[in-house]
Amino acid sequence: MSTIFDYRCSEKVGGLFPELDVPARGVEHLIDSQHLRTQPLRLPELSEPQVARHYTGLSKLNFGVDDGFYPLGSCTMKYNPKLNEAMASLSGFANLHPRSDVTRSQGALQLLFELTEFLRGIAGMADVSLQPVAGAHGELTGMFLFKKYFESRGEPNRKRILLSDTAHGTNPASAALAGFSVTEVASDEFGMIDLKALDEALDETVAGVMLTVPNTLGIFETNILEVTDKVHVAGGLCYFDGANLNSYMGKTRPGDMGADVFHYNLHKTMSTPHGGGGPGSGPIAVSGTLIDYLPLPRVCQKNGQYELDWDLPNSIGSIHSFYGNFLVAVKAFAYILQLGDEGLRAVSENAVLNANYLQERLKKTYLLPYDGLCKHEFVLSGQGIADGITTLDIAKRLIDYGVHPPTIYFPLTVREALMIEPTETESKETLDRFAEILEAVAVEAREDPQLLHDAPLNAPVRRLDQTQAAKNPVLTYPFDEKPA
């Protein structure tokens, strides 16, 4: 794989920026030499066609949702409408400075205000902050709210967060970053929160629980009201990880289940898209108990004008430079506006239908550890497919068939897990084809296991040595290395 640094650098190309149109005073006269760069930069000097070819070439080594089926569990890799991109590049949004006077940013503020209203309604909760810019950032903000809440109630001893053994890794990491200790509560034989274990863990040192509904096995916690009641009775708060919102929009709402904080992943559920790892947007919704602590600033409406409210003395403060990932919010707004209630419901219904349809078919070939109704995703196990074959082998073989592998080895409670989330934007035809592929791979696993061990064979690279990357890390281009 060539990097941009491997091209033969020509002489200075120029042409991006104009000549100086004011009298030059000279850098040396404006800045003391102690501040000036002495080592020349080693950026490549390339013509535009070279740059265009290089990055177009890199893009072809990637696999995106537009390339094919992407059933990555927990990640909601749905189709990203092209309208989103067009709306986010409108000049009145893209070229708006965040320090612009509010009287001159009314359109942007109106959009933020209305998106807040939409999201509040979708979650059925008291208020929303659009400031967090990723799911994990929303979680962290939520944990800060928990901390502030107990601080202001004079209960600093509430230092423990309970979470399920099926929780996303970001949950414990976010709780720990906010200064909480983490206690794992085992799930029961149906993959749900074990109420007895929850009772045992709840005491006056517990700040709250972090729940994922439906959980990462794709199972809806039928006891959800008992769980949130128990936590509230014990004086704790309930955090809902919203990674799985795609399974119940227009059907039910976290606010109706006892959530105190809920985070959205607009880059998943609201199609904004994921960008190869961001930028995302992770707004949070809160119950009435926590409104006063929401991040600064809030967008509000006064006398027919939209304003930024900075005067919130109990706020946890700001958690991002300005108002969150505004251009991502624009995309989510356009998406929700297009769907309306009917579309939101259709999204979840078809996401759940697609998942159950695939689960029903694939459980005949693959082990389904938790058999029953699933929501938008389900978890199979690669165990028992063939001797010596791992889930990693299965995943890599799927690449050869032109589909993106599911999430693997998560959740941790399922051995050799394959976590499959088809989303609503896939056709029955695509699902049938995917099922055929997985069935064919199961046959190959028994008849020609080496094929799976060697996979992928058709990808831009074969299986990569990730231990070498860990042991002797090369994290930047070695300019001094002789070309091979």
Partner 1 sequence: MRYIPNTSADRREMLASIGVSSIEELFADIPDLVKSRFQPLNLPARSEMEVASIVSEMADCSKSTDAVCLLGGGIYDHYVPSIVGHLLSRSEFFTAYTPYQPEISQGTLTAMFEFQTFVCELTGMEIANASMYDGATALAEAVLMAERIRKKGAVAVPRSLFSHVRRVLDTYCWATEIEIHEIGYLPDGTVDLKSLPQELSALVIQTPNALGVIEPLAGVKDTIGDALLIVSCHPLSLGLLQPPGVFDADIVVAEGQPLGLAMGYGGPLLGLFATRKEYLRQMPGRVAGRTVDVEGKTGYAMAAQTREQHIRRQRATSNICTNAALCALASTIYLASAGSAGLRQVAELNLEKAHYLADGITAIDGYELTFSGAFFNEFVVNVPGDAMAIHDRLVQAGFAVEAPDTLRSLGLENALRFAVTEKRTKDELDRLIEVLGESR
Interatomic CA distance for residues 326 and 330, integer angstroms: 6
Our finding on whether 300 is near partner 1 (CB under 8 A) is no
Q: From residue 383, give the alpha-carbon distance in Å to each of 366, 375, 392, 440.
A: 8, 23, 11, 16
- Binding residues for partner 1 restricted to 59-118, rule: CB under 8 A: 59-67, 70, 72, 75, 77-81, 83, 85-101, 104-108, 110-111, 118
For partner 1, the closer of residues 39 and 387 by Cβ is 39
For partner 1, the closer of residues 333 and 384 by Cβ is 333
Our finding on whether 449 is near partner 1 (CB under 8 A) is no
- Binding residues for partner 1 restricted to 243-272, rule: CB under 8 A: 248, 250-253, 256-257, 265, 267, 271
Our finding on whether 301 is near partner 1 (CB under 8 A) is no
Our finding on whether 34 is near partner 1 (CB under 8 A) is yes
Q: What are phi and psi of 88, to 5 degrees?
A: -75, -15
- Selected binder of partner 1 within 283, 324, 369, 382 (CB under 8 A): 324
Q: Going residue by residue from 340 to 359, which x/- string records binding to partner 1, judged by CB under 8 A?
A: xxxxx-xx-xx-xxx-xx--
For partner 1, the closer of residues 45 and 203 by Cβ is 45
- Binding residues for partner 1 restricted to 134-163, rule: CB under 8 A: 134-137, 139-140, 143-144, 147
Interatomic CA distance for residues 448 and 445, integer angstroms: 6
State the amino acid at position 172 in one-letter form: P
Q: Going residue by residue from 456 to 475, which x/- string records binding to partner 1, judged by CB under 8 A?
A: x--xxxxxxxx-xxx--xxx
Among candidate residues 243, 239, 242, 241, the one with its CA nearest the CA of residue 259: 239
Name the one residue in this structure whose structure tokens are 């690279």: 461
For partner 1, the closer of residues 194 and 221 by Cβ is 221
Q: What are phi and psi of 446, to 5 degrees?
A: -85, -40
Our finding on whether 428 is near partner 1 (CB under 8 A) is yes
Interatomic CA distance for residues 179 and 156, integer angstroms: 11
For partner 1, the closer of residues 43 and 233 by Cβ is 43
Our finding on whether 482 is near partner 1 (CB under 8 A) is no
Smallest separation, CB 399 to partner 1 (Å): 6
Our finding on whether 36 is near partner 1 (CB under 8 A) is yes
- Binding residues for partner 1 restricted to 359-378, rule: CB under 8 A: 360-361, 373, 375
- Binding residues for partner 1 restricted to 384-413, rule: CB under 8 A: 395-396, 399, 404-405, 407, 410
Our finding on whether 190 is near partner 1 (CB under 8 A) is no
Interatomic CA distance for residues 241 and 135, integer angstroms: 8
Say how many CA atoms lie within 13 Å of 226 toward its Cβ: 10
- Binding residues for partner 1 restricted to 195-234, rule: CB under 8 A: 219-220, 222, 224-225
Q: Per-residue b/e over 224-246, b at no fewer than 16 CB within 10 Å?
A: beebbebbeebbbbbbbbbbbbb
Interatomic CA distance for residues 231 and 88, integer angstroms: 41
Smallest separation, CB 98 to partner 1 (Å): 3
Q: Per-residue b/e over 80-98, b at no fewer than 16 CB within 10 Å?
A: bbeebeebbeeeebeebee
Give the torsion through C-alpha atoms of 392, 393, 397, 403, to 10 deg. -20
